[in-house]
Amino acid sequence: MTAQDQIKETVTSNDVVLFMKGTKSMPQCGFSSRVAGVLNFMGVDFNDVNVLADDEIRQGIKDYSDWPTIPQLYVKGEFVGGCDIITEMTLSGELDTLFAENGVTFDQDAADKIREANA
């Protein structure tokens, strides 16, 4: 299976996937830590893919999405964005809407607390 096949299989067979440096319990960069932290705090069940463990996946995800940076968040097979986009969507409430529209379970109170803390 090629890296592209592996990536496609991962994003289409999981509701929420975060391609990141490190893991959700041990992020290896600040940007990955921020996005994983938001998802963890909001109680989102997500699959983490450590791009540091496989150079083909690390480059392959950039080619797959045509997006140059990591982390990359996918919801229901669709690329959502990287750290800055996820941060903006969290603060505006767009991420809540995206999850709700796609049947992804999350803690609304936690999402509200993030916004309150950053108001």
Instruction: Give the annotated binding-site residues.
Output: 29
Q: How many CA atoms lie within 13 A of 89 on its CB side?
A: 17
How far is 73 from 1, CA to CA, in rounded Å? 22
**Between vectors from CA 46 to CA 6 and to CA 111, what angle results, nearest 5°?**
145
- Amino acid, single-letter form, for residue 57: I
Q: Which residues are annotated as a binding site for [2Fe-2S] cluster?
A: 29
Task: Sort 111 into a burial class: Cβ within 10 Å, 0-12 / 13-18 / 19+.
Answer: buried
